Chain A
């Protein structure tokens, strides 16, 4: 638009430049000028129109392509979202199926899993249907689960009794140790910190052997302590928390010192409140990790009665399939509730853990 608007002025100026000093031709000049201006006004309109059309077309193309990209992105994201949610939703929906319905739909699966006799296979449908919505909503399996068969509820409490002390204990021990690592940074301490990190990275295949040895020596093998105590002293939380605490500006600490605060005051009044979100995030991560544990109870607990629900759920056999979905759902309720409540902490905690 601007370019077009300049054109008549330029032409006039140019002609003025050429005919400078030729006063006798002033009238012709004026005529020319008028002509040009009149012509260019039309031209301008035309050109404006043309330009606008081009711009419109370009904008349209751009809009369409960006829409196509957005649609494609949405499509992909939706696919992944369905993939992510499907197993959870199916479990929840199926947990409301009556035992009979589950048996008719799924027992072919379980018979092929637990090599049942050929006899039972014959009268059950051989092709299972993945059913989304139950024919009739039934709560009877929840009733069985919660009131009639105490084993499930007992295992659920085993899980709680194992996880809660580990999370609380590790956060407490971890906060103290992280504060020390964050504030006292001498070379030998850094070496120790590095060995903590290595320990954190060790898989169960390595750490369970020393855990088993010491549990035997201390006589706590086959008790919950064999899992709880190593859990409390695991170094996972220290890595993340001390990273956080190192980001506290030293000016805060200096100011507090000038005001006469001792280390304990600095720890409780400055450090802990500033790391609140990291501590929440850590608690959530620890909770999921230990709620989910399978390796430790398998090796450190011999009695089936002491094992948590995570191990027990996998040992459900074909005859109990009816309540298995309901038990699975109950087992995932606590972590899902925590997720709903603390998602922002979790996301923030994870995000910060990656940045050096």
Chain B
């Protein structure tokens, strides 16, 4: 053996081999940690999602004849789907900006010199923990036709409103949504505000910038990432609003509250596999587009503020 003979080629080869061996070993170890989750996700989400994709091009669950985009066209032209999509979008369009704005204002309030800040934060975070099913009763007492809200309004001579059976129901659900989600968003904003560098705020104050100017010129640029994050979370939560609608109004809500999930539930009960799968794929694509657009917008804005 030429043990003491220096052979650079041999050394390099061995080193590369060792590195490769190490990286292969690493791959095995970390793939091992990932395996349970990956198999589960594959079995329960990604795999069946592929089946859904395939079935969305078939006549029905039992008849696997290829029908092209027929199912998609059917869903797209379906009146119920259209109104469900419209209602969901109207709700998200109202709820997301309001949730972001109001929770930002609350966070600013609780970031100022206010006595009892932490107590207020706890109280405002509380609704997040309370199951919707538990407070639905109170909401019904407040907003039903013979409910407390109409009684109070009667004192001021305002006519009764049929809250749950008219377009006002959007407002009722919106209030419930805000009640539940403001606390979580507020905590996110409070932590983002506390991360704004104090020196910059101080020096701006010395230079005579007022509170409004300080907010728009210094705090806001630091808050953009959080605003987008809160926006995405609120959007996702606004898609879950079916839960509140169902608990308040049961299987048959007013037209204004007929959400996409109601449509899906109907398809489930009718076992309309073709429409079900096509609708799921449409929503999946829509979701990817919306979230992707938000991510891109956030990147653009983030870059602008860095410059």
Contacts and interface: CB of A to CB of B under 8 A. Distances in A.
Contacts of B44: 210-211, 214, 229-230, 233
Interface residues of A, number: 99
B131 A298 contact: no
Nearest to A106: B141
B59 interface: no
A310 B250 CA distance: 13
Contact of B112 (A73, A214, A315): A73
B151 interface: yes
A347 B127 contact: no
B261 A295 contact: yes
Contacts of A10: none
Interface in A197-220: 198-199, 201-214, 217
Contacts of B26: 184
Given A209-B52, A343-B122, A203 B239 contact: yes
Interface stretch (B11-19, B63-71, B212-220, B225-233): B225-233
B49 A130 contact: no
Contact of A173 (B36, B242, B246): B36
A126 B146 contact: yes
Interface in A167-214: 173-174, 176-177, 179-181, 183-184, 192, 195-196, 198-199, 201-214
Contacts of B195: 355
Contacts of B242: 204, 294-295
Nearest to A356: B225
Contact of B146 (A87, A90, A109): A109
Contact of B37 (A70, A238, A267): A238
B188 A129 contact: no
B129 to A, nearest CB: 4
A118 to B, nearest CB: 14
Contact of A130 (B46, B132, B135, B142): B142
A109 B140 contact: yes
A328 interface: yes
A206 B133 contact: no
B123 interface: yes
B264 to A, nearest CB: 5
Interface stretch (A12-20, A22-30, A48-56, A78-86): A78-86
B185 to A, nearest CB: 9
Interface string A298-342: 110000000001110111000000001100110110011011000
Interface string B57-101: 000000000000000000000000000000000000000000000
A350 B184 contact: yes
A91 interface: yes
B109 to A, nearest CB: 6
Interface string A117-148: 00000000011111000000000000000000
Given A209-B280, A211-B48, A128 B40 contact: no
A122 B243 CA distance: 33
A293 B51 CA distance: 25
B268 A212 contact: yes
B168 interface: no
B188 A91 contact: no
A84 B123 contact: yes
A346 interface: yes
Nearest to B120: A77
Given A184-B30, A314-B247, A109 B184 contact: no
A247 interface: no
B124 A80 contact: yes
A168 B64 CA distance: 40
Interface in B100-156: 106, 109-110, 112-116, 120-142, 144-148, 151
B229 A354 contact: yes
Contacts of B43: 214, 233
B110 A77 contact: yes
A12 to B, nearest CB: 35
A195 B46 CA distance: 10
B6 interface: no
Given A205-B261, A205-B283, A310-B133, A87 B179 contact: yes
A325 B138 CA distance: 9
A108 interface: yes
A347 B229 contact: no
B138 A90 contact: yes
A164 interface: no
B147 A109 contact: yes
A68 to B, nearest CB: 13
A205 B188 CA distance: 26
B134 A313 contact: yes
A263 interface: yes
A58 interface: no
Given A210-B45, A214-B43, A294 B247 contact: yes
Given A209-B48, A335-B130, A356-B225, 14 more contacts: A73-B112, A109-B146, A113-B140, A177-B36, A184-B31, A199-B41, A204-B239, A209-B280, A267-B33, A294-B132, A294-B133, A310-B131, A313-B133, A314-B247
12 contacts: A74-B114, A80-B106, A87-B127, A91-B138, A113-B140, A127-B151, A203-B236, A203-B239, A208-B264, A233-B45, A350-B187, A354-B226
6 nearest CB pairs, A to B? A233-B40, A210-B48, A351-B191, A177-B37, A184-B30, A180-B33
Interface of B: 26-27, 29-34, 36-38, 40-41, 43-49, 51-52, 106, 109-110, 112-116, 120-142, 144-148, 151, 179, 182-184, 187-188, 190-192, 195, 225-226, 229-230, 232, 236, 239-240, 242-243, 246-248, 250, 260-261, 264-265, 268, 276-277, 279-280, 283-284, 287-288, 291
